[in-house]
Chain A
Amino acid sequence: MEKWHLMTIVVLIGLTVRWTVSLNSYSGAGKPPMFGDYEAQRHWQEITFNLPVKQWAKFINPDWIELHSSRGYESQAHKLFMRTTVFIADLLIYIPAVVLYCCCLKEISTKKKIANALCILLYPGLILIDYGHFQYNSVSLGFALWGVLGLSCDWDLLGSLAFCLAINYKQMELYHSLPFFCFLLGKCFKKGLKGKGFVLLIKLACTVVASFILCWLPFFTEREQTLQVLRRLFPVDRGLFEDKVANIWCSFSVFLKIKDILPHHIQIIISFCFTFLSLLPACIKLTLQPSPKGFRFTLVSCALSFFLFSFQVHEKSILLVSLPVCLVLSEIPFMSTWFLLVSTFSMLPLLLKDELLMPSVVTTMAFFIACAISFSIFEKTSEEELHLKSFSISLRKYLPCFTFLPRIIQYLFLISVITMVLLTLITVTLEPPQKLPDLFSVLICFVSCLNFLFFLVYFNIIIMWDFKNGRNQKKIN
């Protein structure tokens, strides 16, 4: 079958699954007075519409955004409108980026590219959060993906412009900013700081500054206003973590209540130090040896470091890690699929709160089956496939009999999946004991955190060891 037919079918499947999930309940449905993210988005619309005045929204239905009186507004027509906006934003920004990215992948067959696109589009986490819980993550993730695409194809200026847009849409994208910075810096160094590299550096700096100024212009009128915006963007007053998240700090507080023991500014300093220490090796490596492949893996490890050690992390921030992992799906299908399953599982308490159990189970199974068939993941667990060959060789210098690394990883995978399934069943069927009402959410976060730590170590190993003999390898892409 022709390539574009198959790609169209894949995109249509992705769109169909998205819209079907959107017919479910949303965050905070019928739960006054706080409601949820859905209401938050409507509130944004209310505010941006009323002050200052913009003409376009008035055309549709003024009731939806009437200042003050539309708080908590919920109706079928409005739900349809909100869902449609997410759908269109997705269609215009995220999906073309995914399709283009898969088409630009090198050294794999057409069928594999299309299967790759299918799996990325079927990733349950993003679908459930955007179309179920209700957010617009696909906009910022889409822009970030355009950024990655630009940088991989050597369109550095466009790529950095796209990434600036992503950051200015959602400040969470700063998780990805370090790898972008290091990769571009590395490229400048490679071209030589005295000649073309310097020119590139200047051009990039101008692009970044210009795009930031453009986005922030309306807010520059007063210094006080700018500071207010910054304070809202980075709520340092809020504390190390909120609610239950698969973070180191949250899991650690099971044993030791850090929040209560340490003073506020110490908490910030500790989290800062841990975050930067964990991502420093990968970033330095990327600056010294910039390559698109290294760039992608560094995106994963940096975002994961931020997620695990940063402050005020929300469980939805795992999506920022999932996007880069989707990008490396074709290179390490087994581990990526495993990671993406865990990432969806880690958001389970949130999804259950929004009554999205059925869609999450179905989409997760569909995703798993799609990946298992497209990539035959269970056959790709050898050392070579897992990119652990160099690491194993180094390790065998000290422990000559260490040949069973793939076996260990397979067992770990099995244990992880069984634990996830069991925890899901328990959370859905049983009631937690009276004394520990949050028992199940904490367990889920704890287990996910352990998994994420393992992945952090794994991805860092790949970055540091696999590219060690970079000059000796034939394929450096």
Chain B
Amino acid sequence: MRIRLVRSARRCGNGCPRSGGVWWKLVLGSGARGDSPQMPSHPHLATSEWTLDYPPFFAWFEYALSHVAKYFDQEMLNIHNLNYSSSRTLLFQRFSVIFTDALFVYAVHECCKCIDGKKAGKELTEKPKFILSVLLLWNFGLLIVDHIHFQYNGFLFGLMLLSIARLFQKRHMEGALLFAVLLHFKHIYLYVAPAYGIYLLRSYCFTANKPDGSIRWNSFSFIRLISLGLIVFLVSALSLGPFLALNQLPQVLSRLFPFKRGLCHAYWAPNFWALYNALDKVLSVIGLELKLLDPNKIPKASMTSGLVQQFQHTVLPSVTPLATLICTLMAILPSVFCLWFKPQGPRGFLRCLILCALSSFLFGWHVHEKAILLAVLPMSLLSVGKAGDASIFLILTTTGHYSLFPLLFTAPELPIKILLMLLFTIYSISSLKTLFRKEKTLFNWMETFYLLGLAPLEIFCEFVFPFTSWKLKYPFIPLLLTSVYCAVGITYAWFRLYVSVLTDPPVGKTKKQ
């Protein structure tokens, strides 16, 4: 029923096949023409700016696609054709995204089955299942990132949502298998691996609880633990085995975890470090004005000059990868403890998953702003359940989606991103308000003010700023403002979600699924 066909109208003249995924296709596609598949040590690959930073399963996926691609356009598979783009290439790439989205649609269907429709009105459009499916299928972030910016997140998120749905349906083995496979498609999902690990250990390996909800040690089932371990081991062996055999593993790992890249991306993801950087910049400016700092000692390169590079902070202490790891772990720990000591079934697992994703987003090293989707999509499942969750979801999703705006920066794309954002925001706020109209209002005045402030911010960044004189002197100001403003909202949503998880009543009084 969902009109996803209109999506393909989005596949317009935008030639943006910029993703590491394309590179894999090039590399392995040369295998489709009869040459042997090249290993990551090929000299050409070192020179390309789009590096092979995805795990092996994704490589095999692209390999499969390249076999179809040769019917569309042979030239795109030539390994020497850097930045090659033709209309047939574009057509093939776009169609492949739409095709693989089929898995996402199936996963959404399964998730809708896990939602109970007790709150439903008589109208179809007021049922939680309908609202959830629209929120997921027409998710602005996914549309923008997948179909315009171009990536394959649709089917990866489909895998994640499907594994969550399986855990809801108590088919734990399948859920574990799907997640293991997912990890080997895109290792960014390591962010949420602790949630999976602890939940499976606590609620699946320990088959029963004591009446007050705490752990019953003697109900531990070795068989379940071993079977889970076997699944993970087999999947990893399948994926990394060939590289292990060829002694290429260190290379693969170094490409997967490029720590040389710097604390922040070229455009700062709206996380804690964006606020940290902004504070550092403000303090350094103040320090310069008040003559507390020596201008010679400050590094010239701006952090948002557009390139991916390392830099040092001027006033505040510099941040190392280890520091971010420690911060992330400290942020994750309370939610994981909650999951262990106060298990609340699949719903508790979902909250922990979202918190893990959000905490890693907030404190991680070189986080991409697209990673916010990792938290937004599972949160949609919670949003149709409780009013409090709906309110957090709306703040998170609106600011998260707005932070994706700098991904599309050309003039023809401007109306599209504004129209789509308006569409999604108006629909989500209005439908959730209608769903929870009998409870208290979703936003207090502060939150409303904050969300409305996004409009003047957008007008300033896109319409006013390019015509002012500051554009040449401080070209990074719109990006800085966007990421700082959104970072405030996302941090606030994270904080509220944590509070609601920690203050939830213990398991005896929660509703059954």
Residues of A bordering B, CB below 8 Å: 1-2, 5, 8-9, 12-13, 15-17, 19-21, 23-25, 76-77, 80, 83, 87, 358-359, 362-363, 365-366, 369-370, 373
Contacts and interface: CB of A to CB of B under 8 A. Distances in A.
A175 B411 CA distance: 38
Contacts of B419: 12, 15-16, 19
B5 A365 contact: yes
Nearest to B435: A1
Interface in B374-420: 411-412, 415-416, 419-420
Interface stretch (B26-34, B52-60, B421-429, B472-480): B421-429
A358 B88 CA distance: 13
- By secondary structure, the A interface counts as helix
Given A77-B411, A87-B415, A373-B1, 4 more contacts: A9-B430, A12-B422, A19-B415, A23-B13
A83 B411 CA distance: 12
Given A20-B416, A23-B12, A23-B13, A12 B431 contact: no
Top-3 shortest CB links A-B: A23-B12, A5-B430, A16-B419
A20 B9 contact: yes
A153 B9 CA distance: 37
A24 B13 CA distance: 6
Given A12-B426, A16-B420, A1 B9 contact: no
29 contacts: A1-B126, A1-B431, A5-B427, A8-B426, A9-B423, A9-B427, A12-B426, A13-B423, A15-B415, A15-B419, A16-B419, A16-B420, A17-B6, A19-B415, A20-B9, A20-B10, A21-B9, A23-B14, A23-B416, A25-B13, A77-B411, A80-B411, A358-B11, A362-B5, A362-B8, A362-B9, A365-B5, A366-B3, A370-B3
A83 B422 CA distance: 21
Given A87-B415, A369-B3, A24 B430 contact: no
Given A1-B126, A1-B434, A12-B423, A17 B9 contact: yes
Nearest to B430: A5
B214 interface: no
A362 B6 contact: yes
- Chain B interface size band reads 20 to 34
B426 A5 contact: yes
B9 A363 contact: yes
A369 B6 CA distance: 11
B14, B415, B422 — most chain A CB neighbours (10 Å): B415
A388 to B, nearest CB: 31
Contacts of B423: 9, 12-13, 16
Nearest to B427: A9
A87 B9 CA distance: 17
Contact of B5 (A5, A25, A366): A366
Contacts of B6: 13, 17, 362-363, 366
A9 B422 CA distance: 8
B125 interface: yes
Contacts of A369: 3, 5
A3 to B, nearest CB: 11
Contacts of B412: 23, 76, 80, 83
Contacts of A366: 3, 5-6, 9
Contacts of A362: 5-6, 8-9
A118 to B, nearest CB: 10
Interface string B338-382: 000000000000000000000000000000000000000000000
A9 B429 CA distance: 12
Contacts of A1: 125-126, 430-431, 434
A14 to B, nearest CB: 10
A76 B14 CA distance: 12
B421 to A, nearest CB: 10
A76 B126 CA distance: 43
A20 B5 contact: no
A119 to B, nearest CB: 12
A359 B7 CA distance: 11
B425 to A, nearest CB: 10
Contacts of B415: 15, 19, 87
A80 B415 CA distance: 11
Contacts of A373: 1
Interface in B1-59: 1, 3, 5-6, 8-14
Contacts of A359: 9
Nearest to B14: A23
Contacts of A13: 6, 423
A8 B431 CA distance: 13
Contacts of A76: 412
A13 B411 CA distance: 20
A16 B10 CA distance: 9
Contact of A19 (B1, B11, B416, B431): B416
A86 to B, nearest CB: 12
Contacts of A5: 426-427, 430
Nearest to A23: B12
A205 B262 CA distance: 75
B510 to A, nearest CB: 30
B99 to A, nearest CB: 15
A95 to B, nearest CB: 13
A386 B470 CA distance: 64
Nearest to B131: A1
A268 B430 CA distance: 58
Interface in B292-338: none
A81 B310 CA distance: 40
B315 to A, nearest CB: 42
Contacts of A19: 415-416, 419
A5 B427 CA distance: 8
Contacts of B8: 358, 362
A15 B423 CA distance: 10
A20 B12 contact: yes
A2 B430 CA distance: 8
Contacts of A16: 416, 419-420, 423
B241 to A, nearest CB: 42
Contacts of A363: 6, 9
Nearest to A87: B415
Contacts of B431: 1
Nearest to A363: B9
A132 to B, nearest CB: 11
Contacts of B411: 77, 80
Interface string B186-201: 0000000000000000
A76 B415 CA distance: 15
A12 B6 CA distance: 13
Nearest to A365: B5
Contacts of B427: 5, 9
Contact of A9 (B3, B426, B434): B426
A258 to B, nearest CB: 41
Contacts of B434: 1-2
A353 to B, nearest CB: 17
Contacts of B13: 23-25
Contacts of B420: 16
A20, A76, A77 — most chain B CB neighbours (10 Å): A20
